[in-house]
Chains A and B, each alone.
Chain A
């Protein structure tokens, strides 16, 4: 007998113990605490989890918790959270990551756990408030939900009955859901959706949309060989947490990281190559790299031949050439002949040698090149949309499209389940959000609303700002104040918000809405090559239901009278149409008990039972209903490794009486197959006989292709050509409004498009942990500039003068910024006019207003105060940053509609009478800027090829019916 036989026996015994435990559906290995961050409570113990109370130390006091999953609401990534609800007090004690969540995988950024601060914020709005004095006067009285709902319903009903539907507007900041509220508006028949997207990602989206149809990329960073980011990606933006962890995973596997950013961001510090170009020159760099790839033959020829609409390019732009692929290669090199590395180096200010190195790296990636641009350069510059377009050109050249380690269209990695009701498209077109001057705008021209209203293009009966703060977030905030205080233009403003904000100060009603643990939503996101669904739920409701109670109204469990929006919209819609005669009520009615209100349980129960493939089976395996399963785990993965859907053959039964056009687009009479995934997809036009496009012929096979007019990747966009922009029909370099040639002597470029990784727009101010981490936004100045401007030192006050005003801010002298450029973080500079409001991160200010001239002066910084939270008495910071956006005029890109954030500014030492936080702006100047940029447009009325307002095939939120697309007949 070997001396080690007993070891073998022991091995068998452990195996048996594990198998036995796992057979009971329990976890044997809880997971190692330091490996893969996997030390989460095993899911079978979520109902009764015991931990020692850290505050009771050294006494070993046990606390029992019920762990309830929900979805973070503090950015759009929809990461999973796990609320630890104290079994004794029924209060949430902390939030941690949900290990079952496929997107975030149990890991969260600082913003997730800070949800606890938001729900416990002593300054939060807990009851419906109605203004008592004039708008903005800061006087409020509590009202009942009934009173507020009746007032809103009466006005909305009146507007609908009197065919003033366009006077109803819902303006959303953080949606946190996939289409619920759009369907509410559709049910009302109102084209009233207004998003914040055009101050955010419209530029980035446009670049992708013209290539793919889809307006978002889904990069597979974790499997890439080369990751190329045009952004401060690891620290800001929606994709921060799920993408950052995958970028790092890619790096751990050996991927090279290239970061293009004017600032040395946290992301840039992780890069193998940090490129800090002149702002706006990014597209020139990418075109030089593209030219290099083709001229040296280091690109995926077969992919380009198969999947680009190169024939269309030759046909339209180079009729002199025989339409062969070899001729296209020549034409490509002709088109971009100007973009040598030497030229790109001159434009970008980056050494030619480094550009070549980066080009070689890109070339080496093959189909494992993951790239991403969301805001950053695309959001900063006139023509910024060409940055993402030229970036994706590199993927398209390498064939790194829908490949492992490449970039997928977002909709393939996202799942939006079909809901219980799908109201029809609205019949109206709202000129206040979709003015005819911007037929190609990716999203609503939201930030121009004050100017459009001032132009007399319309007025608003009811304006909802919803988890949005345009006075503070948008450029030109003083024009917003002017609009919101004019009761003839905005008759009623209801702020649906979980927290006080600068816009809510100018509301008639402030209606308290829930944070992530206080509301229902479903949300899916393109975090990697998979499709998953996340469920947000009021966790206290779920805990009490676990205890056997039935909760019919979320207000019962939420603090104060905080409501969740699903129930709010259902109730409001019933009051608008109490007898159902307007045809609205039917979309909010129970199917199980006709004549009664739809409940959230029925709404989500229907979706989970009928529209999420695999979920009912998985739930049944655990003896749960699909709804109970989602309440228990908070998430479900529908599919993994979705792959290259464009290469999928169109099934024969979908090919009925087909027609194939000269470019290979295949049209069919077969109806579109039904799908329970209703993720928005562009809708290329039918052929002249009404057949729908079903695929595209590639090398003799009919494949699914892309949802573009040609069915291919559109290197050449007939849409741009037909709608007045032939010069940009192919990817191009547009010189930015802050290009060197456009700067006056002494002017610098201000980059205001970045933020810190712990900030959440408006709602970080209500998170004390986040406030303590970051509460100032000094302006970054390179030492060379600091010397040139008169020995500016860190901490000195400087005055930054924009086109319409100035702001006074502290300097931070750092080599982490390109000379000639200054940068100032947004998400800072919160203020309040009166005592009411949140106090942990806002300065008290006074406003002066004479005619068009506005000034803001800080009267006090942040101070400690006593409240229900003893920590507010321990506040040690006084700073709250400076609100620079007030001094920016609107800069709408004439094509994408994106607000071009970068500013040409003069920077100087502050003047003797300047004080920190001083702001001045002239709204007449902002109107002049609005008019100047408006003059750059090519309006639909003069350029539409088919007398419509907008290419129908492009994505559009709350897309109206085709009739509404027709331009009005000139009178």
Chain B
């Protein structure tokens, strides 16, 4: 599947060699290095572990699970086993080897391996990623994301027939209620898409600060979010609820149904909790205000 290899290559830092690849895919223009940095290094990190890992960060158990897949099929996992480009490259390789294989047993094993990779490590998160990329990317990367989404959908249509929820999603802990888990865990869960059901990138937080008239302190996303909460709680909770609600209603239809349901339920669950929290907090603030008077 040359197409996946090519799409994967474009998830890498652009070099002069990327222009012909982009041309062959019919994408508009060529990737720009500065835009790449802004999108892939600062906003939307192209790693499975960020989207399906319990911590919403690079590495951890989610990356181990991906690395385990490489080992299970007898390959040495590369240092960044869960990078989008790596996964797409591996998928291309497995499909090609499957198509070239003439020995039925080996062919069937390669087919199973590629289907498992697709179902377990690509389909669970890539549509969420491409949806966000289509929202924040420039013309080139928007087109790239759209093409990737369509290609993946075509592939899932043909090869991803599993009905059991992928392991990453089965293992994902639920969203965290700050009243039980504490504020730190709550903020961590907000930034872990697999728990909250939606992606918050740096630009989203800047947008929140702008819309709510709050100060934006520079730092990692957790720090920014903490500082927003430190300034105002109810408006921030409301803003997050709106984001979650919008995510729940707009889950990409590129996901297979069972996965789509998962993401939708996650975002809806988060929205519901955020709403409750917002209400409780508003009531508390109103009470405090009265007491203080």
When chains A and B are docked, how far (Å) is the Cα of A801 from the Cα of B9? 61
B76 x A14 contact (CB < 8 A): no
At the interface, yes or no: B5 with Cβ under 8 Å from chain A?
yes
B265 contacts partner chain A, Cβ-Cβ < 8 Å: no
Interface-side segment among A27-35, A267-275, A770-778: A27-35
Interchain CB contact (< 8 A) of A14 among B25, B77, B89: B25
Does the CB pair B18–A30 fall under 8 Å? yes
Cβ–Cβ contact B12 & A34, under 8 A:
yes
Find B15's partner among A15, A16, A30 (CB 8 Å cutoff).
A30
B76 touches A249 (CB 8 A): yes
Check A28–B20 contact: CB distance below 8 A: yes
Contact of B1 among A3, A11, A16 (CB under 8 A): A11
Q: Tell me whether B26 is interfacial, beta carbon within 8 Å.
A: yes
Q: Are A42 and B150 interface neighbours, CB within 8 A?
A: no
> Is B78 close to A, CB under 8 A?
yes
Q: What residue in chain B is nearest A58 (Cβ atoms)? A: B34
With both beta carbons as reference points, the residue of chain A lying nearest to B15 in the complex is identified as A30
Interface presence of A21 (CB below 8 A): yes
A33-B12, A42-B17, A249-B76 are known contacts. Are A18 and B85 too (CB-CB below 8 A)?
A: no
Contact of A34 among B26, B71, B80 (CB under 8 A): B80
Is A147 at the interface (CB under 8 A from chain B)? no
Known: A32-B86, A32-B89. 20 other contacts (CB 8 A): A4-B153, A10-B3, A11-B1, A11-B2, A13-B26, A14-B6, A16-B24, A17-B24, A18-B6, A21-B20, A28-B17, A30-B17, A32-B83, A33-B13, A35-B83, A39-B12, A39-B13, A45-B16, A252-B77, A253-B71
Knowing A7-B154, A32-B9, A249-B76, the reply to whether A50 touches B15 (Cβ < 8 A) is no
B151 located at the interface, meaning its Cβ lies under 8 Å from any Cβ of chain A in the complex: yes
Closest chain A residue, CB of each to CB of B24: A17
Asked if B21 is at the interface of the complex by the 8 Å CB criterion, the answer is yes
The answer to whether B157 touches A11, judged by C-beta atoms less than 8 angstroms apart, is no
Contact with A along B71-88 (1 / 0, CB 8 A): 100001111100101100
User: Which residues from B are CB-within-8-Å of A33?
Assistant: 12-13
Quick check: is A133 within 8 A (CB to CB) of the other chain? no
- Whole-angstrom distance between the Cβ of A8 and the nearest chain B Cβ: 8
Chain A nearest CB: distance from B205 CB in Å? 25
Whether, in the assembled complex, A254 has its beta carbon less than 8 Å from a beta carbon of chain B, the answer is yes
- Flag if A4 contacts B154 (CB, 8 Å): yes
**A36: CB under 8 A from chain B?**
yes
Chain B, residues 1-40, CB within 8 Å of chain A (1/0): the string is 1110110110011011110110111100000000000000
Chain B interface (Cβ < 8 Å from any Cβ of A): 1-3, 5-6, 8-9, 12-13, 15-18, 20-21, 23-26, 71, 76-80, 83, 85-86, 89, 147, 150-151, 153-154, 157-158
- Asked if B21 contacts A34 (CB within 8 A), the reply is no
Q: How far is the CB of A497 from chain B (nearest CB, A)?
A: 39
- Smallest CB-CB separation from A18: which chain B residue? B2
Q: How far is the CB of B7 from chain A (nearest CB, A)?
A: 9
Is B15 in contact with A39, judged by CB distance below 8 angstroms?
yes
B5 partner residues in chain A, CB cutoff 8 A: 14, 29
A500 to chain B, nearest CB (A): 40
**A32:B2 contact, CB within 8 angstroms:** no
Residue of B nearest to A13 (CB): B24
- Residue numbers in B under 8 Å from A32 (CB-CB): 8-9, 12, 83, 85-86, 89
Contacts of B12 on A, CB cut-off 8 Å?
Answer: 32-34, 39
Q: Are A36 and B17 in contact (CB under 8 A)?
A: no
CB pairs A–B below 8 angstroms (12 shown): A3-B154, A7-B154, A10-B25, A11-B1, A14-B6, A17-B21, A29-B9, A32-B12, A34-B12, A34-B83, A252-B77, A254-B71
Report the Cα distance A429→B186, complex, angstroms. 80
A30 to B8, CA, bound (A): 12
Q: Report the minimum CB–CB distance from A894 to chain B (whole Å).
A: 46
Contacts of A16 in B (CB 8 A): 24
B154: min CB distance to chain A, Å: 3
Contact among A3, A30, A45, A252 for B76, CB-based, below 8 A: A252
CA distance A253 to B25 in the complex (A): 36
B2 → A minimal CB distance (Å): 4
A7 touches B76 (CB 8 A): no
Which residue of A has the minimal Cβ distance to B4? A11
Specify which chain B residues have a CB less than 8 angstroms from the CB of A34 in the assembled complex.
Answer: 12, 79-80, 83, 85-86
Q: Are B3 and A11 in contact (CB under 8 A)?
A: yes
Cβ A35 vs Cβ B13 within 8 A: no
Contact yes or no, B85 A35, CB < 8 A: yes
**Binary B-proximity of A512-526 (CB < 8 A = 1, otherwise 0):** 000000000000000
Q: A10 to B7: give the CA distance in the assembly, Å.
A: 11
With A4-B157, A11-B3 known as contacts, the answer to whether A35 contacts B17 (CB < 8 A) is no
Contacts of B153 in A (CB 8 A): 4
Task: State the 10 A-B residue pairs at the shortest beta-carbon distance, nearest first.
Answer: A4-B154, A30-B17, A17-B24, A11-B3, A15-B2, A14-B2, A7-B154, A33-B13, A14-B6, A32-B12
Q: How far is the CB of B36 from chain A (nearest CB, A)?
A: 10
Query: Closest A-chain residue to B90, C-beta based?
Result: A35
A32-B85, A36-B78, A254-B71 as given contacts; A14 in contact with B24, CB under 8 Å: yes
Alpha-carbon separation in the docked complex, A254 to B12 (Å)? 28
Bound together, the chains give a CA A33 to CA B78 distance in angstroms of 12
A805 to B78, CA, bound (A): 51
Write out the residue numbers on chain A whose beta carbons fall within 8 Å of the beta carbon of B78: 35-36
Residue of A nearest to B16 (CB): A50
- Chain B residue with the shortest CB-CB distance to A33: B13
Q: How far is the CB of A757 from chain B (nearest CB, A)?
A: 19
Chain B residues positioned under 8 Å from A11 (CB to CB): 1-3
Closest residue to A12 on the B side, CB-wise? B2
Chain A nearest CB, measured from B53 CB (Å) = 18
Give min CB distance, A45 to chain B, whole Å. 8
Which of A28, A33, A254 has most chain B Cβ within 10 Å? Answer: A28
A18 to B1: give the CA distance in the assembly, Å.
Answer: 12
When distances are taken between beta carbons in the complex, the residues of chain B under 8 Å from A4 are: 150, 153-154, 157-158
A254 neighbours in B (Cβ, 8 Å): 71
Provide the bound-state CA to CA distance between A91 and B276, in Å: 66
